[in-house]
With several copies, the nearest count.
Chain A
């Protein structure tokens, strides 16, 4: 089985789900003939035509709002936001509308919609092509938040998202689009939500991560192994629902947890992981928790030395591993 890229996993999922269910449509900017700025929809316009792949006006609130309406009228839209940084104009439609619709109608109107967005830094994108937005949206009740870390998961989780009857924010680590490679089984099916994956078992401590930081965590664990440290790496895969049981089980096994995320540290997603561990696995802890995250400055700057200084990577994780191991 030849390795594929993460973006191929995305494209295959879209293609197969569109072939499988004609209610699936895609809405976004530059997704038609252009095939998306990252080519996630390449070839789909030619295959499914303008009634399934809809180039939208440059207006994110409407991309989501129109998606909600279409979802409530029998379709299953996949809305593409070109960069996660540009989802902000749609925050109202996502948080106040899509996420609350099912609850506010007492379960009468589900909103089966996926919002895809490339996120994260390291591509020289500066403040507005580098943001991590998962904490903001994981906090919104009624919205599922998914981040794949492997090509197979990209495909399997996106399939699940499209078939799920809830609004789902599907965040794709854009730096990993072509950098993260791996096998995708021919018959790759849906990957269930709410199941974290121990991607590297270990005994000394647990690193909790997702997306690009999971990729780096594996590298850091590899380096740590050379120093005799046996690090367990857990890939969360879905941030909401979170596999709390899986997270706690790992931490209970190892007694130490490093929480790695690329977003700004303060009130980031890792804070929730820390809180749950400090509430529910307190007695199993042999050391303080440790978060490795981006500083609380706006986002990764453009200039390469600044970008490098800003973003946490394998080295920062390895440093954290050493600190925790020493404790």
Chain B
């Protein structure tokens, strides 16, 4: 355990990543309310778990096939804030898709981040394929893929986990369980208490962890990534998180989420908790924390300015490229 305990420096970096994601996320909601961007889907409440998983990876070396809430993860894998916002604004410079996909459908090749799709669950068999290729060539890269708990109901989840078990793939399947799929509560997706209970049926390791607790999540993620790298196969890692926002900017969750539950959400926010914890541990001073927060905000401001000023894609990008050119 001790060798995976994060240093004070790393803890500060982790906090910085969580804050960067949060500040950018908040800005997106504002931009949406201002009518400047057409859509936003948020990672708020998932950040601690996402940061933990990201830091457990060898970032830039390992492969990430994320889902739409994984803002902290893609930032952690090196995607600049401005690049995220270029997507939100649908601008040409959007490295995910050149403005073709909806916001938050991340792709960031320099960071080994694969393209987020809308149809949920499709990334899982693909992640298994990424891991299979890695295994066949004897590489040491681990594949991390993420999915919401509701989306584990899709057949693709099952099929991917079968591959994972049968071939002992070097993969971590992170289920970000926020207990809702839009309005549908977890109990209508599964008759079990923990998503990780599904692991046994596939012969893979199953772990559930409090995803609001960054340190616990980091330990769990680190073990899973290390195990995958050392040939021990796949872990189904459930992080229990909270969706602090409506499903997306198109959603009104007060229709289906009890007022008391919504009110109690503030208490679940992992960030204040993390901040206090790190200060108590001495990993962070109040001053350093505030510096991190201010730096994140300036970064958001700069990214916002840059993205908003960026040009739209040329119309021709609507038409292609559809097919890759030939090469031998």
Contact = CB atoms under 8 A, between A and B. Distances in A.
- Direct contact between A and B in the complex (CB less than 8 angstroms)? yes
Interface of A: 25, 29-30, 32-35, 37, 51, 54-62, 64-75, 77, 85-86, 88-89, 92-93, 96-97, 101-110, 112, 124-129, 141-142, 144, 163-166, 295-298, 300-310
A69 B125 contact: yes
Place the interface of chain B in its size category.
Answer: 35 or more
Chain A to chain B: the 3 pairs with minimum beta-carbon distance, closest first: A69-B129, A65-B125, A303-B90
A126 B119 contact: no
A42 to B, nearest CB: 9
30 contacts: A32-B183, A32-B256, A55-B183, A55-B188, A56-B184, A57-B189, A58-B154, A60-B154, A65-B159, A66-B132, A66-B160, A67-B129, A69-B65, A72-B129, A75-B136, A89-B154, A89-B156, A97-B119, A104-B107, A105-B97, A106-B94, A107-B324, A108-B115, A124-B38, A127-B118, A303-B100, A305-B312, A306-B99, A306-B312, A309-B318
B214 interface: no
Contacts of A125: 102
Given A73-B134, A301-B317, A62 B162 contact: yes
Nearest to A100: B117
Contact of B96 (A68, A105, A128): A105
Given A72-B129, A142-B323, A303-B100, 16 more contacts: A32-B256, A55-B183, A66-B129, A68-B125, A72-B126, A89-B156, A93-B122, A97-B119, A102-B324, A105-B97, A106-B97, A124-B39, A127-B118, A128-B117, A163-B328, A295-B318
B155 interface: yes
Contacts of B183: 30, 32-34, 55
A102 B189 contact: no
B101 A61 contact: no
A61 B166 contact: no
B116 to A, nearest CB: 9
Contacts of A75: 133, 136
A308 B132 CA distance: 40
Q: Which among A56, A65, A77, A112 has the highest number of chain B CB atoms within 10 Å?
A: A65
Q: Which among A73, A97, A126, A144 has the highest number of chain B CB atoms within 10 Å?
A: A73
Given A62-B159, A104-B115, A110 B324 contact: yes
A293 to B, nearest CB: 13
B321 interface: yes
B103 interface: yes
Contacts of A128: 102, 117-119
A296 B322 contact: yes
B327 interface: yes
B325 interface: yes
Contact of B119 (A34, A54, A92, A307): A92
A141 B321 CA distance: 11
A77 B189 CA distance: 20
A74 B141 CA distance: 13
B188 to A, nearest CB: 5
B97 to A, nearest CB: 5
Nearest to B182: A30
A244 B324 CA distance: 20
Contacts of A108: 107, 109, 115
A196 to B, nearest CB: 19
Contact of A72 (B99, B114, B323): B114
A303 B105 contact: no
B124 to A, nearest CB: 7
Interface string B84-99: 0000001100111111
A59 B129 CA distance: 14
B130 A70 contact: yes
Contacts of B96: 105-106
Contacts of A308: 315
B120 interface: yes
Nearest to B135: A51
B227 interface: no
A218 to B, nearest CB: 25
Nearest to A60: B154
Contacts of B132: 54, 66, 69-70
Given A73-B133, A97-B126, A306-B317, A165 B100 contact: no
A279 to B, nearest CB: 19
A166 B326 CA distance: 9
B250 interface: yes
B195 interface: no
A302 B103 contact: yes
B118 A85 contact: yes
A77 to B, nearest CB: 8
B327 A93 contact: no
A10 to B, nearest CB: 18
Contacts of A64: 125
Interface string B35-67: 000110000000000000000000000010100
Nearest to A75: B133
Contact of B130 (A72, A103, A307): A72
B24 interface: no
B98 to A, nearest CB: 4
Contact of A165 (B97, B124, B316, B327): B327
B35 to A, nearest CB: 12
B131 interface: yes
B183 to A, nearest CB: 4
